[in-house]
Each structure stands twice: as structure tokens, then as C-alpha cells.
Amino acid sequence: TPAGYLTWFIAASLLYYMMLSLFCVPWYALGYELAPNYDERTRLMAFPSILGPVGQIFVSWLFPLTQLPIFADTMHGIRWVGTGAGLVIVVFGLIPALFLRERFGSASASVGKKKPRQSLLTGVKSAVKNGPFVRLTLAVTTVLIGASMVGGLGFYVFVYYLYGGDKTAGSVLLGWHMTIQLAANMALAPLMAKLSVRLGKKEIFLAAIGWGCVRSALLWFLLNPAHPWLVLINAALMGVDNVAIFMLCHSMIADVCDVDERDHGNRREGLFGSLFSWVFKNGIALSYALSGFILVWIGYNPTKGAAQLPRTMELMKTFYSAVPAVFFLLAFWVFHKYPIGRRVATEVRAELDERRRAAATKEAGA
């Protein structure tokens, strides 16, 4: 029954995302603690920005694979392709679980014994009062909400607006759009890292948000049913804002962890990584829920297939391009007073290093 499918889907999704959090929280924390230098952190975060899209490119072609003629229908294809994707996740997920070792695990454990553990609630309250962290998290989440709110519309825009209901052609074009976007992410990551080293993280982050706003506005002109492949220009342009925003946000959270250690005396990469992840995942969940309401509001009727009203098609196009632009503007406003630049981060790092040298000298003397 439909209720049975829904129950099964919710239960499986909850289990999957709980396990994903068990992976993501230490993954974020390890990344934040690997590099102490302001610029080295950006170079480090550029590395997953280059390698990560390799897996995402495969994801972008999962639905087109379900449309292959070897499958009786879409659901038959989804079952087989979904099972294959699940096996890939299991195999590659076990590799870090079995072989990843923390470089300073024993040292971290010994340090942890000297200080009492802070309760989660106390840590959360402290993090919420951290102005730079709040601004950064809200800015990135705002960008994600704007993109995700109409991200669910992407399939309908490509299939119904650009291709008049042809699911195969629309899904193939969507697959190419995601592939080109991810390839642009990979190609532009080293350039964005170099620019941030030269000009500063905050400056490049703000420039990327501004670029995203302009790009989203230009998308309205690239969505043309007479020339559907024009939308691939948008895919290439997305590489700039995508890679800069999501690469630099994690590099800046590492700087936030330094400020937090200076003010409170504890290293809490796991706390900040988990809170950041929790906030933007809730934002994505909310935005995808809203995307369903948007479909209903613009008059989309699944029973009509390709015979949607012209007004519905035009609103679909307008929302797909305008909503992200508005949220980019909001993110710019939230983030523009972010206080941690190169000078502040360098001073904080120097103070922490001096504390460690003093503590080491004192311990050696004792």
C-alpha cells in the first residue's frame, strides 16, 4: 500500500542518515584538525573538493540508468540500480571504517584525560554564542536552502519545460548538467584555493555568493525549450560558486575552532562539525518539503504529464532561477560582517602556539 511504501522509506532513510552522521561528524573533525595554518587549511579542503565530485558524477547518472531499455519500466530500473548503488556505498564506506587511523589519536586521548568532558548541552550553548560560527553556518545554510528549495524542481524543469514531458531526454540532459557542474568543481578548486590564499577566504567567499546571485539570474535566459542544451552553460558557471562556498566554509570553521580554543581552552572540532552539519541538513529537509508545496502552488498536476498549463511552465522556470538568486542575496547580507580574516586568524594561531609552548616548558620543568 502507499502507506506501507512510505513507512518503509521513512524507516530506511532514518537508519541511513543516522549512520551517515556517524561517518560525517568525525570526518569533519579530522579535516579541521589536520592543518594549523590559515592558508594550508584551504589547500587541504581543496583536496576533497577535487576528489569528492568523482562519486557525485556517478550519482548524477543513476536515474538515466533506470531508463535503459533492459528494464521493464522505471520502477524495475530503480530497484536494480538502487541495489547496485547500495552495494557501492557499502564497499567504499567500509574502506575508511577499516583502514583510517587518526594521526594523533593517542596524544588526543591523553589530553582528554586532563580535563573533564563538557556536556553536549553546554557545548551547544557555547557554540550558538559564537558569532563567526553562527554567521558562517547561516550563510551556507541559506545558500543551500535556496538551491534545494528549487532543486526538486530541476527534474520537472528539464523534463516538462525543456523537453515537453520526455523523461529520457530530460534525465539525460539533467545528468549532463550535473556532470559538467561537478567537473567544473574539480577543475576550479585549485584556482579558488590560490585566489583565497592571495585575497583572503572571506573576500573570495563573498565574491562567490555574489557570482551565484548573478548566475541564477542569468539562468532564466538559458532555459529555452528551443535550445535546451543552453542550460549546460549554467552548469559550467556553477562551478565557481559551488566549489568556493563549500570548500572555504570548512576551512573557515577550522579558524573558528581556533578562536573557540582561545576563548574556552578546548578543541571542539567534532562539536562545530556536527552542529554545522545538523543545521544545514535541517535546512535542506525544510527546503525539499517546501519544494513540494511550490509544485502544488504553481499548479503542477502529475496526472496531466506533458499537458501542463503554460502558466505552470512559466512559473516553474521563474522559481527555478529566481529563488536561488534571492537566497544568495540574503546569504551575502548575513555573512558580510564575518570577523575572522587572515590577520585575526594568524594572531589567534600565534597565541595558541605560545600557550602550547609555555605548557610544554612547564610540564618539562615539573
For residue 118, the 8-state DSSP code is P
Query: Which value, in Å, is the radius of gyration of the alpha carbons in the chain?
Result: 23
Contact 158, 170 (CB under 8 A): yes
Cα(first)–Cα(last) distance of the chain, in Å?
71
116 DSSP assignment: P
Q: According to the model, what pLDDT value does residue 229 have?
A: 93
* Cβ count within 10 A of residue 48: 15
Q: Which one, of 172, 153, 193, 159, lies nearest residue 291 by Cα?
A: 153
Q: pLDDT by residue for the chain (366 residues), tens digit each? A: 999 999 999 999 889 888 887 878 888 888 888 888 888 888 888 888 888 888 888 888 888 888 888 999 889 999 999 999 999 888 888 887 788 776 555 444 444 445 566 677 777 887 888 889 999 999 999 998 888 877 777 888 888 888 888 888 888 898 899 889 888 988 898 899 999 989 999 999 999 999 999 999 999 999 999 999 999 999 999 988 988 998 899 999 999 999 888 888 778 888 888 888 888 788 888 887 787 788 788 887 777 766 777 888 888 888 888 889 999 999 999 999 999 988 998 899 888 888 888 877 877 776
Query: Locate cell 536494480: which residue?
Result: 80
pLDDT for position 103: 57
- Sign of the torsion formed by the C-alpha atoms of 56, 6, 153 and 147: negative
Distance CA 117, CA 7 (A): 38
Cβ atoms of 320 and 299 closer than 8 Å: no
CA 154 – CA 60 distance, rounded (Å): 12
Cα separation, 331 vs 239, whole angstroms: 18
So what's the pLDDT on residue 135?
Answer: 93
Question: Which of these, 12, 22, 157, lies nearest to 82 by C-alpha position?
Answer: 12
Angstrom distance (rounded) from CA 59 to CA 171: 12
Note the pTM of the prediction, 2 decimals.
Answer: 0.80
